[in-house]
Amino acid sequence: MRGHREAIGVAVVVAALIVAPLGQGNYIAYLLCSWLMLAIAAMGLNLTLGYAGRISLAQASFIGIGAYATSIVTLAHYPWVLGMAVGVVLCFVVGLLLGFPALRVRGHYLAFVTLAFNSLFFLVARNEDWLTGGTYGLSGMPRPRIGPVSTSGQLAFYYFTLAVALLAAVVLRLIVRSPWGRAFKALRENEVRAESLGLDVRRLTLLAFAIGSAYGGLAGAIEAPLVQYIDPGSFDVVQSLSLLLMVVVGGLGEFWGPVLGSAVAVLLPEALRVTAAYYLMLYAIAVILLMTRCPGGLIGLARRIAARPARRRGAAVS
Amino acid sequence: MTSPHLSVRGVFKRFGPVVAVNDVSFDVAHGEILGLIGPNGSGKSTLFNCILGQTAPDAGSVEVDGRRVTGSRACDLSLLGVGRTFQQLAVFPGLSVLDNIIFAAQEHRGGMLGRLFMRPDAGLTEEADRMIEFFRLGAVRNKLAGDISYGQRKLVDAAMAFMAGPRLVLLDEPAGGVNPTMLAELRERLLTYNREHGTTFVVIEHNMDFVMSLCGRIMALAEGRIIADGTPEEVRAEQTVIDSYLGG
């Protein structure tokens, strides 16, 4: 029953996303693309942090790796798919390596290890200008062609981004609904107990980092042709913190949390633009209120509201 | 003569100047229920951790079914058929009771990559439901393990230890904090499981009534050494045990 409700909800949202940019300007399509791109990156971070319980403040660097890999490959006139594959595989491998410190350290210490990695990536991207263009960055990345169809128009690229985001969501859904999803949660909740029940904690921790990072790489592969200009500043620690905020605001360890959280981060400031200079203040206050009143994020808030009538009925019966 | 199920030989563990386990050797036969008693700090939990790969012993060896497992990782021991419960409650509070129990066996199903393509329940719901029924947890089956009572969580903990069908289970203070009704239930469930499956148990316990009525053999530890080993009656009558642990 719950599964049916969810399927209907998803169908309605997908239908809404299909019609959303119609009749709107390019800017709206661009905003929606940015949201979907960040949602992909946040979904990956949600797997690492929300499901597996390993903090990472390096997700922006994986978007960067994916974006630079895609840019370099497509600027060399190779297809986008190849650039995306290179970026995703590279992020998977680098994420796997970044997972090794997570076998030794936890919490704040792990946060600083990953933060240091993000800073390291920023410095490499800034200083190795033979590869990355340094502070000038890379520009003019072509948008992908799907057979005879070009996605160079904003609307076409939006539908392309939507398709990639949906595919990424389906794959992640299959992962977290499989026994792996339960294992990730067990790892988060009690690693010693999970290991005593046969879970190879080392392997799963590394996989949580690798898969989460690969999603960052996929988001980067969208960002490069979306913005058509990348520089190291787009992938700094502030962006990683922003992704962390998206995951937490949406609901840590909730499948749809990152999608909602990134919507809040990208779309809400736009909606609040009518309040002129106050919009950032209002946004900050909204986040503070949400986090203090409902640490389960927006999904937690929705659950609480949905449970209210049932609680009331229970109270009336008792 | 059949080989022992668990064989511990000369296990020694020191933490700085403190010798926690001092040259401990013993065997546990297949299907036996062995109780480990002793005052706090006598080395029981350290000995458990040395057996279960959570602490590396400084010297000595541990064998399960004649296979040397000293220093093996806990996950490898689990796959060899060694289960355990913890002194502190060790359920997954954010998972439902059913998911806790399914997880307890899913890592024993197929390879890691294969599990990615399995049904979400890894085909274990029926088996988990049987375990839920065996431990009489039906009323809380779909509740989060973090939302049920302490005694019920102890039963979930025990159900998890048995779910993968282990042949040897080490129980660390299973009676701790459990009310008398639930305790009788737990003892009865453990005895039934031992009788029906021939599972070997090693039980650390401070509750003397519980351990004496559950175990066929008791071993007493003090200051890291075995000071008595025999039937409950023999150990209860042992003067060194009375002096160091049971009291007058």
Q: Which ipTM score applies to this complex?
A: 0.89
Of B92, B102, B108, the CB nearest to A198: B108
Please report whether residue A271 resides in a domain.
no
Of A179, A203, A253, the CB nearest to B106: A179
The pLDDT of residue A315: 64
Please report whether residue A56 resides in a domain.
yes
Name the nearest CA neighbour of A203 among A99, A111, A56: A99
d(CA A179, CA A249): 26
Chain B nearest C-alpha distance from A163 (Å): 23
The pLDDT of residue B51: 93
- DSSP state for residue B145 in the 8-state scheme: G
**What three-state secondary structure class fits B179?**
coil
* pTM (predicted TM-score): 0.90
d(CA B215, CA A4): 51
The pLDDT of residue B1: 53
Give the domain range for residue A146: 25-237
pLDDT tens-digit readout, A175-202? 999 999 999 999 999 999 999 999 999 9
Of A178, A195, A253, the CB nearest to B115: A178
- CB atoms B120 and A200 under 8 Å: no
Q: How far apart, in Å, are the Cα atoms of A311 and each of A2, A6, A304, A307, A318?
A: 18, 22, 10, 6, 11
Chain A residues with at least one Cβ partner in B under 8 Å = 175, 177-183, 185-186, 188-190, 192-201, 203, 253
The pLDDT of residue A314: 64
Q: Is residue B120 within 8 angstroms of chain A, CB to CB?
A: yes
Residue pair B224/B19 in contact (Cβ under 8 Å)? The answer is yes
Chain A nearest C-alpha distance from B190 (Å): 19
Q: In total, how many domains does chain A have? A: 1
B247 φ/ψ sector (left φ>0, alpha ψ -120 to 50, else beta)? left
| Low-confidence stretches of chain B (pLDDT beneath 50) | none
Nearest chain A residue to B99 by CA distance is A182
Chain A nearest C-alpha distance from B160 (Å): 8
Residues of chain B contacting residue A251, judged by C-beta atoms under 8 Å apart: none
Write out the DSSP string of chain A: -HHHHHHHHHHHHHHHHHHTTTTS-HHHHHHHHHHHHHHHHHHHHIIIIIIT----S-HHHHHHHHHHHHHHHHHTT--HHHHHHHHHHHHHHHHHHHHHHHTT--HHHHHHHHHHHHHHHHHHHHH-HHHH-GGG-EE-PPPPEETTEE--SHHHHHHHHHHHHHHHHHHHHHHHHSHHHHHHHHHHH-HHHHHHTT--HHHHHHHHHHHHHHHHHHHHHHHHHHHSEE-GGGGSHHHHHHHHHHHHHH-TT-TTHHHHHHHHHHHHHHHGGGGGGGHHHHHHHHHHHHHHH-TTHHHHHHHHHHHHHHHHHHHHH-
- CB atoms A196 and B91 under 8 Å: no
- CB atoms A190 and B112 under 8 Å: no
Please report whether residue A304 resides in a domain.
no
Please report whether residue A116 resides in a domain.
yes
d(CA B185, CA B183): 5
Please report whether residue A287 resides in a domain.
no
Chain B nearest C-alpha distance from A128 (Å): 38
Please report whether residue A267 resides in a domain.
no
**What three-state secondary structure class fits B206?**
coil
The pLDDT of residue B6: 96
Of B99, B107, B116, the CB nearest to A178: B116
Nearest chain A residue to B76 by CA distance is A198
- CB atoms B75 and A200 under 8 Å: yes
Residues of chain A contacting residue B127, judged by C-beta atoms under 8 Å apart: none
d(CA A74, CA A82): 8
Chain B nearest C-alpha distance from A137 (Å): 39
- CB atoms B92 and A183 under 8 Å: no
d(CA A92, CA B236): 60
Nearest chain A residue to B100 by CA distance is A186
Please report whether residue A291 resides in a domain.
no
| Low-confidence stretches of chain A (pLDDT beneath 70) | 1-2, 310-318
Please report whether residue A9 resides in a domain.
no
Residues of chain A contacting residue B118, judged by C-beta atoms under 8 Å apart: 178-179
Residues of chain B contacting residue A253, judged by C-beta atoms under 8 Å apart: 94
